[in-house]
Amino acid sequence: MAAKLKSAVLGATGYAGFELTRILLRHPALQKPLLMKRETGSSGQDLAEAFPALSGNGGYPLEPFSIEKLKQSGVDLLFLATPHDLSRSLVPEIVRSGIRVIDLSGAWRLRTESHRAVYGFEDYDSKVAHEVMDQAVYGLPELHDADIAGAPIIANPGCYATSVILALAPLVRADLVDRSRGIISDSKSGVSGAGKDATPRTHFVSVADNLSAYGVFKHRHLGEMLEQLGLAPEELIFTPHLLPIPRGILSTIYVHLSHTMTAAEIESCYRKFFANRRWVRVFSPPRLPEIQYSLHSNFCDIGFCLADDGRRLVIVSCIDNLLKGAAGQAVQNMNVMYGWNEAEGLQ
């Protein structure tokens, strides 16, 4: 039997980090992952203290993070479920140590400086940061699996970005969208997409029985959509909304087609683009995806409705923001990196 891979997770106490840890614990090609915390000092804290659902299963100690500890433990692959600026500061040294990285933050997703400016990164060494950026691959396997396989750094996509890019890529790449008419994405996410630390916007009294828009024209995931789809800023309007549910994303996307088409032609375009892609499900009209269909799975569900004029198209795309939008996609990327079945550990 081949030796099992040794992985580690920094940031397992967050929502995405916890989901990631649960998947890694059951993955047949992995040893039990090393779980690490940002705080220095002694060991002793257990992940079950933050997530009692793990209680009684043998213990999941959280070790203080250090690159030396990673080396001593024989870690091959490190998952970062950490704040963007922390990932930005840690990755250069980790990569120099020979450890591969899958980063769930936005630290290495954006190549265009104007898009990256939304994060306000202050790199200690800009030359090193550019060198690391050149090695990073945007971790959307349906678009970049060949590059992911050999990459030292995978920049796991944002959750909103995943739902929108996968919905639009088949049409944009086939030049079927009239970009001069603009594209609109009206996207809605459950509260877990905002992270575990509560803010005034995410407190129960603010979210319950409510629906609110935020980050209009300024959301961090917009740059990913523009870069990956090759769109200019004026060609896409993206508006995110906060839903009063724990998890899940639904993006409703409005496009004008470059010429008159039939529903069968649209469906064929999607099915050819995603042929043999395990984690994208294309729905035949008139059926449309719903959040409940993709919850607790790594699927991106895509459906559409074509107007009678054959030119106006509404696309609906749904994912679980903590899985295909974060932890599940990270594991899918790992599977691609090591030549395993993309569904390994995710079924």
Residue pLDDT, tens place only, 10-24: 999 999 999 999 999
CA distance 139 to 158: 10
Give a yes or no: residue 40 inside a domain: yes
Top-confidence residue, 42 or 156: 156
- 225 and 111 part of one domain: no
For the chain, how big is the Rg over CA atoms in Å?
Answer: 20
Give a yes or no: residue 343 inside a domain: no
Give a yes or no: residue 211 inside a domain: yes
- 168 and 256 part of one domain: yes
Q: What is the domain range of residue 213?
A: 159-319
Give the range among 57-71, 210-224, 287-301, 312-326 with minimum mean pLDDT. Answer: 57-71
pLDDT of residue 274: 98
User: What CATH number is attached to the domain comprising 183?
Assistant: 3.30.360.10
pLDDT of residue 1: 44
- 163 and 37 part of one domain: no
User: What CATH number is attached to the domain comprising 78?
Assistant: 3.40.50.720
Query: How would residue 268 be classed by pLDDT, with cut points 50, 70 and 90?
Result: very high
Task: Work out the burial of residue 125: count CB atoms within 10 Å of its CB; fewer than 13 is exposed, 13-18 middle, 19 or more buried.
Answer: exposed
- 253 and 275 part of one domain: yes
Check pLDDT > 60 for residue 43: no
- pLDDT above 90 coverage of the chain, percent: 87
- 116 and 192 part of one domain: no
- 40 and 138 part of one domain: yes
Check pLDDT > 60 for residue 208: yes
Q: Where are the alpha helices (DSSP H) in the chain?
A: 15-26, 47-50, 67-72, 84-96, 113-116, 126-135, 141-148, 159-173, 204-207, 222-229, 263-273, 291-294, 327-337
- 137 and 249 part of one domain: no
Query: How would residue 41 be classed by pLDDT, with cut points 50, 70 and 90?
Result: low
Q: What is the mean pLDDT of residues 163-185?
A: 98
Q: What is the mean pLDDT of residues 122-145?
A: 94
Q: Which amino acid is at 25?
A: L
In the sheet with 212-213, reading across from the earlier edge strand, the strands are 212-213, 236-242, 183-189, 249-256, 312-319, 300-306, 280-282
| Enzyme catalytic residues | 159
| Tokens read off for 16 | 């995405």
Domain count, the chain: 2
Q: What is the mean pLDDT of residues 203-213?
A: 92
- The answer to whether 154 and 171 are in contact (CB under 8 A) is no
Q: Tell me: the pLDDT tens digits for 88-114?
A: 999 999 999 999 999 999 999 999 999
Check pLDDT > 80 for residue 47: yes
Give a yes or no: residue 113 inside a domain: yes
